[in-house]
A and B are shown apart, each in its own frame.
Chain A
Amino acid sequence: MTMNREGRGATAPETHEVHQDHGTFTGNRALRIEEALLFEIGRPEVTGVDLPEPPKVTKRLGALERKAPINLPGLSEPEAVRHYVRLSRHNYSIDNGIFPLGSCTMKHNPRLNEKMARLPGFGDVHPLQPQSTVPGAIELISELSRWLIELTGMTAVAMSPKAGAHGELCGMMAIKAALDARGETRKVVLVPDSAHGTNPATAALIGFQVKSVPARADGTVDPAEVVSRVGPDVAAIMLTNPNTCGLFERDVVEIAKAIHDAGGYFYCDGANFNAIVGKARVGDLGVDAMHINLHKTFSTPHGGGGPGAGPVVLSQRLAAYAPRPLVVADGKDVTLLEDAEGGAKHSIGRMTAFHGQMGMYVRALSYMLSHGSDGLRQASEDAVLNANYIRACLQDLYSAPAGDRPCMHEILFDDSFLEGTGITTLDLAKAMIDEGFHPMTVYFPLVVHGAMLIEPTESESRASLDLFIAAMRDLAMAAKAGDTARFKEAPRYAPRRRLDETRAARAPKLRWTAPEPWKAEAAE
């Protein structure tokens, strides 16, 4: 095959002479410098913030003024900058290379969006200053709502949920409220085995019983299985589409019909919406509620695990149950409805203080305006093309449960190609770290053995994909050739070797504590 290997070392690894690692006196490795804990370098009397002397007043704290010191360590600014810059260098990031975590959608984060979110008119406005002083903030939420509604073909959007799981909660509460309004108590929610853990957790949180729906061999849901499970006790189905195996649920319209015919609702987990923006509208598929992870599809930065944002689009049947606050556009008039108590008979109420993740709204709208309708569709197409390109270039060495079938934005492999090698999915992932890549999602979805879910996103160039593919091919061949140590000892070149997670859980140490003086002395 013709593979672009530009940028790779010309020498195959096995011809390198392996030098014995003598380590260093400091534990540092050139650019990678060890960094102590803040509590080991900071001192309570040091501060990196200069403030004038506080005005002298008679305090009005009653008897509740703090008496004992907290002993929080402080750092001067140069110490602080160095501490965090050093820590940052122990992290992998999208800006550093491909981050193919399936289902997580690690696409490029445009810096324009960061700049826009920091405009004083967005970043420096208070959620409770008079509405008359923030018409532009309300306009921004309204404009983002319009884009989300148009892209999904739904009736309304609840903007305030703080993240995907919070959006799921919003959607499932709306479904429960709609059932209540019909005077029905339905207890069961159908969730396919391939679902994200948040789906069953959310349903259980508000008292639903979760009943699983088995998947077909390729990971998709058979409408016959849904038909056989629906009934007067079934409130909803929670379905991810495209699903977590990277496939579009081709029978989604029949599934929607089955649940609707039985009087239930269709909740769609929108984690993978990024594959179909501009290609299909979930409203046309029969969806009643879907959260949209702005931090996935619309590229607000993941920030090491958050913050996210999870607006929920709602169908006509559920629109009346939207939480407060709610931005409503009526022709030219845009209104911010805050009151969860009066005037909102059906609303499920308030899910969070204030108006939701404004900083993420600005970034998402900036991303949408930049892409436009044409660019958003192109992004979906490129994401799907990139995933299929990886699939086509790896399928002779890796094992795909869906066979030759095209995938959407992510390609799922299982570990059957590693059979007999003694090497596991985790070992392969750790070996990828040594090769300079962030591993794909591993062991999810749960429906295939040793899952490896690769989502390259549209942000990767062809050259970047080719480098990744070449490395993945080399690793698969090394595994099959019995080069076991390469995998079992990996990662060898990361800031840390494999970490002992069992030990961390068995005797949890969740905070730093000051060493006891007698112990410190004894150690000297």
Chain B
Amino acid sequence: MRYLPLTPEDRTDMLARVGVSSIDDLFADIPAKVRQTELPDLPRAKGEMEVERILGRMAARNVSASSVPFFVGAGAYKHHVPASVDHLIQRSEFLTSYTPYQPEIAQGTLQYLYEFQTQVAMLTGMDVANASMYDGSTGTGEAVLMAHRVTKRRKAVLSGGLHPHYREVVETLGRFADDRIVSLAPDVRATEDILGAIDDETSCVVVQSPDVYGNLRDLRPIAEKAHAHGALLVAVFTEAMSLGLVESPGAQGADIVVGEGQSIGNPLTFGGPYVGLFATREKYIRQMPGRLCGETVDAEGKRGYVLTLSTREQHIRRDKATSNICTNSGLCCLAFTIHMSLLGEAGLRRTAETCHANAVLLADALGAVPGVEVLNETFFNEFTLKVPGRAADVIEKLAARGVLGGVPVSRLAPGRVELEGLILVASTEVNSDEDRAAYAKALKEVLS
């Protein structure tokens, strides 16, 4: 077995050194009646070639995003990632290291986490960011729990523009933590009365912008109303690229900003692993979940970095911790921070402008198809399309014509008749004129 260095002779010698006659002597604590004597009923070891063949066959059954005109978003986006990003994250010293608990020999990880935290804070317009959460949705759940700790209240209000998966994650947590979660109805055109839902019991109001239907929401009046009632504004985003072109949530008064960072540096990978971004105001840092990296000095006075404020965390505080989270998304943070440092301000701005411009062109092309309507007044790179009939059927027919045209809203929010004709359509810098033309042509055919 290519991954196991011990030879049969090694094993014999080592057993003798240990002072037992067989390997089973070392497993003697497992009660005999539950000890497994037969091999599990699974295939035997295989060489690289055979494993590649098996997994290659499975992979080949899937339609990859790069192989077709591709417009699927709704929380995960197909962007171009520079080749150097994937090369660098596979450096042994990054890929095969652990959480930096021994900082003297983990300065590489710690410094990039410090840089990551700084980039996320700048991007979101906040004071500080943590070293990542699992993804945007679980980060949103943690943001609500944090708001409960800060305000000592237990009622969260969720906008109807919040991604339904995110809403469900918050609701699941809330149900088990005995918190009150008030979820407003799906709000396709950003017309809900969220200000009216905020009262003196509200711990936080959770608003996504661009929202799941693509609308940009002005967070300022919501922040004002929330603050007037002693509540926090949790601002959510699922498309990190939007922050390159849209006013930051921090500048609009958010208290916690949380979102999905996949768009920068990370491939689609069928939904994970991704990287949750989490930022807040300085005054709340001791209530933050997750790992934090901070600057310090070593015994010679040289600048260095360590994990810090760990008295918030489970390995120190156990049942009094701010969160049960242990693992973060280390390598996905690294991909994010490398891609972001390659982009810089100039590259981020240009990529975001290209995403937006491509989406505008696409909206115009699809809106011109008879019977089709673009519902948004504002959007960044994703908008809602109303089609005649069931959107899910339209998407399947488009797929049969080789176009992955978006996400039927019914897939995210099933059982709501009024949403059955809606498709979320996303465009990024990877889409070409030909892709757009192919989509418009296929849509026309499908609907005629």
Q: Type the 1/0 row for A149-171, where 1 means its CB is closer than 8 Å to any CB of B.
A: 01100000000001111101100
Assess the B404–A511 pair: CB atoms within 8 A. no
A371 to B328, CA, bound (A): 28
Please indicate which of the listed interface residues A116, A139, A203, A252 has the most CB atoms of chain B within 10 Å of its own CB.
A116
Assess the B5–A461 pair: CB atoms within 8 A. yes
A406 to B248, CA, bound (A): 58
Assess the A438–B107 pair: CB atoms within 8 A. no
Nearest residue, chain B, Cβ from A109: B96
Partner of A353, one of B117, B271, B358, B395: B271
Assess the B27–A279 pair: CB atoms within 8 A. yes
- 19 A-B contacts (beta carbon < 8 Å): A60-B363, A62-B216, A73-B344, A95-B95, A135-B62, A197-B321, A201-B318, A278-B40, A280-B35, A304-B334, A307-B272, A368-B42, A369-B43, A371-B1, A460-B5, A499-B299, A500-B296, A500-B299, A510-B295
Q: Type the 1/0 row for A252-286, where 1 means its CB is closer than 8 Å to any CB of B.
A: 11000000000000000000000010111100110
Interface residue? A124 (CB, 8 A): yes
Residues of chain A lying within 8 A (CB to CB) of residue B226: none
Partner of B3, one of A61, A168, A459, A512: A459
A63 to B15, CA, bound (A): 73
Assess the B42–A372 pair: CB atoms within 8 A. yes
Assess the B23–A381 pair: CB atoms within 8 A. yes
Partner of B62, one of A67, A136, A206, A252: A136
Q: How far is the CB of B58 from chain A (nearest CB, A)?
A: 4
- Whether A120 contacts B99 in the complex (CB less than 8 A), given A54-B353, A303-B94, comes out as no
Q: Type the 1/0 row for A30-55, where 1 means its CB is closer than 8 Å to any CB of B.
A: 00000101110011111111011011
Interface residue? B237 (CB, 8 A): no
Segment from B44-52, B199-207, B440-448 that makes contact with A: B44-52
A interface residues, tally (CB under 8 Å): 209
A127 to B268, CA, bound (A): 8
Q: Which residues of chain B from 106 to 163 have a CB within 8 Å of any chain A CB?
A: 106-109, 111-112, 114-115, 117-119, 121-123, 127-129, 131-132, 134-138, 145, 163
Q: Which residues of chain B from 208 to 263 have a CB within 8 Å of any chain A CB?
A: 209, 216, 218, 243-248, 251, 260
Assess the A80–B342 pair: CB atoms within 8 A. yes
**5 other contacts beyond A92-B102, A133-B63, A369-B55, with CB at 8 A cut-off?**
A43-B344, A121-B59, A150-B42, A374-B44, A510-B114
Assess the B332–A302 pair: CB atoms within 8 A. no
Residues of chain A lying within 8 A (CB to CB) of residue B304: 496, 499
A472 to B147, CA, bound (A): 48
Residues of chain B lying within 8 A (CB to CB) of residue A127: 75-76, 268, 270-272
Residues of chain B lying within 8 A (CB to CB) of residue A279: 27, 30, 35-36
A93 to B395, CA, bound (A): 46
Interface residue? B389 (CB, 8 A): no
Assess the A197–B59 pair: CB atoms within 8 A. no
Nearest residue, chain A, Cβ from B245: A66
Partner of B360, one of A57, A147, A308, A369: A57
Partner of A388, one of B26, B40, B106: B26
Q: Which residues of chain A from 425 to 478 have a CB within 8 Å of any chain B CB?
A: 429-430, 433, 438-439, 444, 458-462, 464
Assess the A372–B46 pair: CB atoms within 8 A. yes
Residues of chain B lying within 8 A (CB to CB) of residue A393: 17
Q: How far is the CB of B50 from chain A (nearest CB, A)?
A: 8
Nearest residue, chain B, Cβ from A220: B29
Interface residue? B319 (CB, 8 A): yes
Nearest residue, chain A, Cβ from B122: A70
- Whether A385 contacts B26 in the complex (CB less than 8 A), given A128-B74, A354-B271, A496-B304, comes out as yes
Q: How far is the CB of B24 from chain A (nearest CB, A)?
A: 9
Interface residue? B421 (CB, 8 A): no
Assess the B90–A499 pair: CB atoms within 8 A. no
Please indicate which of the listed interface residues A52, A84, A250 has the most CB atoms of chain B within 10 Å of its own CB.
A84
- Whether A70 contacts B123 in the complex (CB less than 8 A), given A198-B314, A504-B296, comes out as yes
**Range class of the B interface residue count:** 35 or more
Residues of chain B lying within 8 A (CB to CB) of residue A108: 3
Assess the B51–A369 pair: CB atoms within 8 A. yes
Assess the A351–B169 pair: CB atoms within 8 A. yes
Assess the B138–A352 pair: CB atoms within 8 A. yes
Assess the A205–B324 pair: CB atoms within 8 A. yes
Partner of A68, one of B3, B251, B291, B331: B251
Assess the B135–A91 pair: CB atoms within 8 A. no
Assess the B78–A126 pair: CB atoms within 8 A. yes
Assess the A350–B168 pair: CB atoms within 8 A. yes
Assess the B105–A495 pair: CB atoms within 8 A. yes
Residues of chain A lying within 8 A (CB to CB) of residue B105: 90-92, 433, 438, 491, 494-495
Partner of A250, one of B29, B100, B145, B297: B29
Q: How far is the CB of B256 from chain A (nearest CB, A)?
A: 15
Q: How far is the CB of A392 from chain B (nearest CB, A)?
A: 5
Partner of B95, one of A134, A303, A392, A459: A303
Interface residue? B418 (CB, 8 A): no
Interface residue? B21 (CB, 8 A): no
Q: Type the 1/0 row for B361-400, where 1 means its CB is closer than 8 Å to any CB of A.
A: 1010000000000001111100000000000000110010
Q: Which residues of chain A from 394 to 436 have a CB within 8 Å of any chain B CB?
A: 406, 408, 429-430, 433
Assess the B28–A406 pair: CB atoms within 8 A. yes
A508 to B308, CA, bound (A): 8
Assess the A339–B414 pair: CB atoms within 8 A. yes
Assess the A444–B332 pair: CB atoms within 8 A. no
Q: Which residues of chain A from 72 to 89 have a CB within 8 Å of any chain B CB?
A: 72-75, 77, 80-81, 83-85, 87-89
Q: Which residues of chain B from 86 to 105 have a CB within 8 Å of any chain A CB?
A: 86, 88-105
Residues of chain A lying within 8 A (CB to CB) of residue B39: 278, 373-374, 377
A150 to B98, CA, bound (A): 29
Q: Type the 1/0 row for B1-33, where 1 means its CB is closer than 8 Å to any CB of A.
A: 111111000110111011110010111111101
Please indicate which of the listed interface residues B317, B323, B342 has the most CB atoms of chain A within 10 Å of its own CB.
B342
Assess the A385–B18 pair: CB atoms within 8 A. yes
Assess the B118–A491 pair: CB atoms within 8 A. no
Nearest residue, chain B, Cβ from A71: B345
Interface residue? A288 (CB, 8 A): no
Partner of A505, one of B302, B309, B330: B309
Segment from A10-18, A357-365, A479-487, A516-524 that makes contact with B: A357-365
A130 to B395, CA, bound (A): 8
Assess the A96–B138 pair: CB atoms within 8 A. no
Nearest residue, chain B, Cβ from A161: B134
Interface residue? A330 (CB, 8 A): no
Assess the A370–B330 pair: CB atoms within 8 A. no
Assess the A125–B123 pair: CB atoms within 8 A. no
A424 to B377, CA, bound (A): 65
Q: How far is the CB of A140 from chain B (nearest CB, A)?
A: 5
Partner of A129, one of B134, B314, B404: B404
Assess the B172–A87 pair: CB atoms within 8 A. no
